[in-house]
Amino acid sequence: MRESEMLEEISQLHGEDIWQSMSCYYGDVRDTYEFITWLLVVDGCSILHLLEKSGDSVDPHRELKISVDKLVRMYEDLLVMDNQIPFQVLRLFCKDEARLEKCLHTFLQVHGVKTAPELGKGKKTTQEAAQELKLVVQGDYDQNREDPVHLLDYLRRALLMRDLDTIHKEIPAAEMKIKRRSLHLTKYRIGSIRELKAAGISLRRHSAGNSIYPSFKDGILHLPELVVDGTMPHIFLNLVAYEMTHFHSDFEISSYLVLLSSLVDQPEDVKELRLAGILINELASDKEVSDLFNKMDIILVPETPWFANIRDQIHSHFESKRGRIKILTWMGEAYNTFFRSPWTIIALLAATLGLVLTFIQTWFAIHPKAS
């Protein structure tokens, strides 16, 4: 069978379903129906083939007959916001539920996520789709009960698997009633890691699996483990782009990235996170990591209750330790200025010795010893 005949047959089998999927993104696509059908068939099958070979083989690049760098680029392309295809397309071409879940688990593992969210029931009737839309408009729709929109949405759900109800219970109800949500775009400035340590705040690695939510209690800031490598900015910035277009989002990933950009300012901040077991640096140096976060420090998000609560708790702790912070900050600056290397220590000692000798010489000049 020729390729054109094969595509025509697949279009006849699944064409209407594909058209319904694409109409969610581009409206009426009947004029380009044949081209879009062909495009989705090729893209959907290519993605499933890539993930299946990656999960079954120790050396997937050899199995796929491509170089390692091209394989890495293909994985990155799976996350580009503009490259996303409806998840329904993947389900159409992979009827075996276990096989599909295996491909999705491989997708998460490639991007460093261990736990996979559950999938929905699959294809919905027209009545079910209409009911779902009604719930979305009313704000009562639980998106985690349904299939993801696409692979990028699936990755985001995997990163947010901690029970949101439990998280919101941790915020005092009285505070939630008093505080009104700000409609301004802002950044969560809570100070760098060095400033937090100067205030007596210690760091610990979060133990809540894939959760990206920090927590603060009894002077301890718990942060999730983060692997920083060459693909990390690509992953997070595409997730941020998705949240900016996703109307049923509380900007969790974006807020987390803003928080990290506030915490990391200098290489010393990266070092503290490494020593606490929170950050795993797979770049060349701590300076590269700090420069990376400084470059990504361009995101503005609306205030969200969870991150605003963390910020307020830390600021309250700062206020109670203001005097100590000033002293320790001055000591830290003095240490970084005068003790950053053996040569600066030697220069400081030489200057101190010179001042002492000058003082002694001046003293004896004013008070000469009696003969």
Please enumerate in sequence order all residues whose Cβ is within 8 A of that of 103, keeping only pairs 6 or more positions apart, or say none: 48, 51, 52, 55, 90, 94
What number is the average pLDDT over the span 244-270? Answer: 86
Tell me, what amino acid is at 321? K
φ/ψ of 351, rounded to 5, equals -65, -40
Nearest to 93 by CA among 35, 37, 30, 10: 10
What number is the average pLDDT over the span 250-268? Answer: 88
Q: Round to whole Å and give the CA distance between 258 and 153.
A: 20
Tokens of 331: 């000591």
b (16+ CB within 10 A) / e for 107-129: bbebbbbeebbebeeeeeeeeee
Q: Where are the domains of the chain?
A: 3-159, 180-325, 341-366
- pTM of structure: 0.70
pLDDT category at 307 given cuts 50, 70, 90 is confident
CB 152 within 8 A of CB 242: yes
Q: Round to whole Å and give the CA distance between 108 and 206.
A: 20
Per-residue model confidence as pLDDT tens digits over 102-118 = 999 999 988 888 778 87
CA 139 to each of CA 133, 136, 149, 152: distance values in angstroms, whole numbers, following the listed order:
10, 5, 17, 22
b (16+ CB within 10 A) / e for 357-371: eeeeeeeeeeeeeee
Tokens of 38: 């062909």
Place of tokens 């999927």: 21
Q: What is the pLDDT of residue 1?
A: 47
What number is the average pLDDT over the span 27-31? Answer: 58
